[in-house]
Structure 1
Amino acid sequence: MTIDTNSPNPLVSVITPTYNRPDYLQAALKSAVQQTYPHIEIIVCDNCSPENPQTLVESFHDSRIRFSRNSSNMGMFANTIKAFQMARGKYIACLLDDDMWEADFLEKLVPPLEANPDLALAFCDHYIIDANGNIDDVLTEEYSRSYKRANLREGIYQPFCRISLVDKSVSTATAAVIRRDAIAWDTIPPEVGGSWDIYLNYLCCRSGLGAYFYPEKLTRYRVHEQTDTMLSGKRDAKAKIRKAQADMFCYEQFMADERLQELKPYFQQKLAHISTTLGIGLMRSKELKTARSYFWRSLKQSLKLRTIAGLMLSFTPPTIASRF
């Protein structure tokens, strides 16, 4: 693809990291190729799925799609960052393989970025869909309220640290277009793991640039059994541990950033909650001594019944404690 840097419609790189979800991937790519904003490249980065999705990707017969397949599974973080690093556009938008976009997603979010070079990103609200792609109206409105997008006014927010890192209004993994040169993509530490989207929010905030909010639901976030927020029980203890460790790394970085000192009380609360979550995950994996240290750490920050219960159970036999 030849990149015309003088084009009135700058190139947008759509990155889609994927692993073993061909049906969802097909729906995601369909929503990408049907964008009313046409000047895009679509980067599909397959993390060595058991069934190679190359035939599926090629079935779209769209020259804007670039396909890359890893020879072995790199892990979710490395595969995602690889896709970001392959991007050549002025802007980048992440379309995860289980999500979808409305046809005018890019058409509505690119212009504010073009009009104002002092913006790091533009973002919008989104729908919640179930495993079958059906919109859940109740959950959609619940998410909009919980993440404080329901009453967020359209326009520029600068700085936007609070709405991004505290309110969580911004979702760089689901509903945002990012100015590519606002982030040094090669410097993102692997410790952020599955919390890479939170860390991208942080990097965009610390760039000193602003954010533009467009108050329409322009994307569809799919909630299903493999979604991080849906993981529960012993079967997913390892996944819970990895996510909590990644969250902890991120919030420790936020705590250490002097530019975010006014948000420090919130970060302390988050670290206390994450420490308890990590302790529970470790206890379910029967790593009681290690779990106990995280419960103690959490209690130094915040006295919560959940943490106290976890600490008490960590002194019981592993067969009992692992049921928590």
Structure 2
Amino acid sequence: MTTSCKVSICVPTYNRPELLVECLDSCLAQTHANIEILIGDDSSDTRTQQLIAARYAHDARIRYVKNGPSLGQARNVASLFARATGDKIALIHDDDYFTSDGIETLLALWHRHPQLEVAFADQYEVDAHGNFDATTSAAVNAAFHRNTAAQGLQRQPGRTGLVQMFPNNGWMANADLVKRISYRDDVGTCCDYVFGAELCLAASQVYYLHRYVSYYRKTDVSVSGRTRGSACSASLTAFEFVSRLTLDASLEPARRLALRRLAPNVVSLYAKNDAPLAALRVAFVHLYAYAYGLDARLYYHLSLIARACIPMKWRGLPPSATRFP
């Protein structure tokens, strides 16, 4: 089954042709040959279009579309899922890339578990130049609950998505499930997390493999970095999404774990954007996120809240400085 199974590798891209080459070359070098590579180009110029024409035009596995006008992150990814013709779908962003056996490794899990719907594994963390540190990579994966003890079919598939164990790319899933869930255009830069959570909540079988199958590149121009301090922060959207979810009682501990990670970020965000009452409310409703006062971040955040209570004119700030209504 694994050799005959067609895998659609979806690659959204935006103004990064120099990094896209490494991504596409890693896809074309996969040990599993039955693939198609779908590219959705949201770029504001024609550099990527020219690159594809010059370097990949004669490779039938490449299926390129230049979006006009640009679709935005969520709709671009959703359009790639809709175009996919494979039995399985894998996602890799333009600045990331697969190990040479990444697709084969993930696909082999279906041979062992025919009812499997979603599979993922570890990601190397690399810098802008592709250099990786094994110790840092291991620590990052461990921080997202990816470790030896967690390997296997997940007892609670939904928990896997809620606690951010599921990665933003480098995963594989049944195409029909991916198309049904798809990416939402109403959650901004949080669309990766929301998709992962909803995908795992909808799946009956999710497998985590404690093995590296992809490389995640950290750059200075990441979307999360550009919006981290603003009202459109992915942390705030994720916090609101998790808080409002209707969940089975068995998943309430997972919700609590997810909010424990997110709540302090939201408190800081509200305080820095002159919404002290909202910050105080989140901090005390989710006091467990601060180990009930044993975490030093609580007192730092309380100092930010206190400062936000001082009228802006006394801090030398114009009224328009606030980013929250």
CA distance in structure 2 between the partners assigned to 1:15 and 1:169 by the alignment: 21
- Quick check: 1:315 aligned with 2:302? no
Question: SS state of the match for residue 43, structure 1?
Answer: strand
Change (3 A) 1:43 1:266: same
User: Which one-letter code corresponds to 2:190 in the other structure?
Assistant: S
Q: So what's the TM-score if we normalise by structure 1? A: 0.83
Determine the C-alpha separation between the residues in 2 that align with 1:45 and 1:120.
Answer: 24
Q: What is the CA distance between 1:189 and its match in structure 2?
A: 3.5
Q: After TM superposition, give the deviation of residue 54 of structure 1 in Å.
A: 1.6
Structure 2 residue identity aligned to 1:297: R
Give the aligned partner of residue 302 of structure 1: 286
Q: How big is the shift at 1:9?
A: 1.5
Q: Does 2:262 align with 1:266?
A: no
Offset, 1:103: 0.6
Q: For residue 68 of structure 1, report the CA deviation from its aligned partner.
A: 1.0
Compute the displacement of 1:177 (Å): 0.6
| Structure 1 CA distance for aligned equivalents of residues 223 and 229 of structure 2 | 11
- 1:147 counterpart = 2:153: no
Q: Confirm or deny that 1:202 pairs with 2:175.
A: no
Match of 2:269 among 269, 278, 281: 278
Query: Does 2:106 match 1:112?
Result: no
Does residue 83 (structure 1) correspond to residue 73 (structure 2)? The answer is no
Q: Which residue of 1 aligns with 2:293?
A: none
Instruction: Go from structure 1 to structure 2 and tell me whether the alpha carbon gap of 1:320 and 1:184 turns closer, same or farther (over 3 Å shift).
Output: farther
- Cα drift, residue 91 of structure 1: 0.8
Alpha-carbon offset, residue 116 of structure 1? 2.7
Q: Distance in 2 between matches of 1:305 and 1:161?
A: 33
- Distance in 1 between the 2:159 and 2:300 partners? 27
Name structure 1 gaps, 5 residues minimum. Answer: 1-5
- Cα distance change of structure 1 residues 43 and 188 upon mapping to structure 2, 3 Å threshold: closer
SS at match of 2:220: coil
In 1: Cα distance, 2:24 partner to 2:33 partner: 14
Could you tell me which amino acid in structure 2 is paired with residue 9 of structure 1?
S
> C-alpha separation between the residues in 2 aligned to 1:314 and 1:228?
26
Verify the 8 A CA contact 1:278 1:294 in the aligned structure 2: no
Give the number of aligned pairs.
304
Q: Which runs of 4+ in 1 moved over 4 A?
A: 228-232, 318-323
Q: Following TM superposition, by how much is the alpha carbon of 1:279 offset from its aligned partner in structure 2, in angstroms?
A: 1.1
Q: 1:305 to 1:208 in 2, by over 3 A?
A: same
Report the identity percentage: 23
Q: Give the Cα separation in 1 of the matches to 2:20 and 2:36.
A: 16
Which runs of 5 or more residues in structure 2 are unaligned? 288-297
CA RMSD of aligned residues (A): 2.8
Aligned runs of 1:212-291 on 2, under 5 Å?
212-228=207-223, 230=225, 237-238=229-230, 241-254=232-245, 256-258=246-248, 260-270=251-261, 272-280=263-271, 283=273, 288=274, 291=275
Q: Which residue of 2 aligns with 1:3?
A: none
Does residue 1:170 correspond to 2:171, yes or no? no
Cα deviation, residue 57, structure 1: 1.8
State the one-letter code of the partner of 2:247.
D
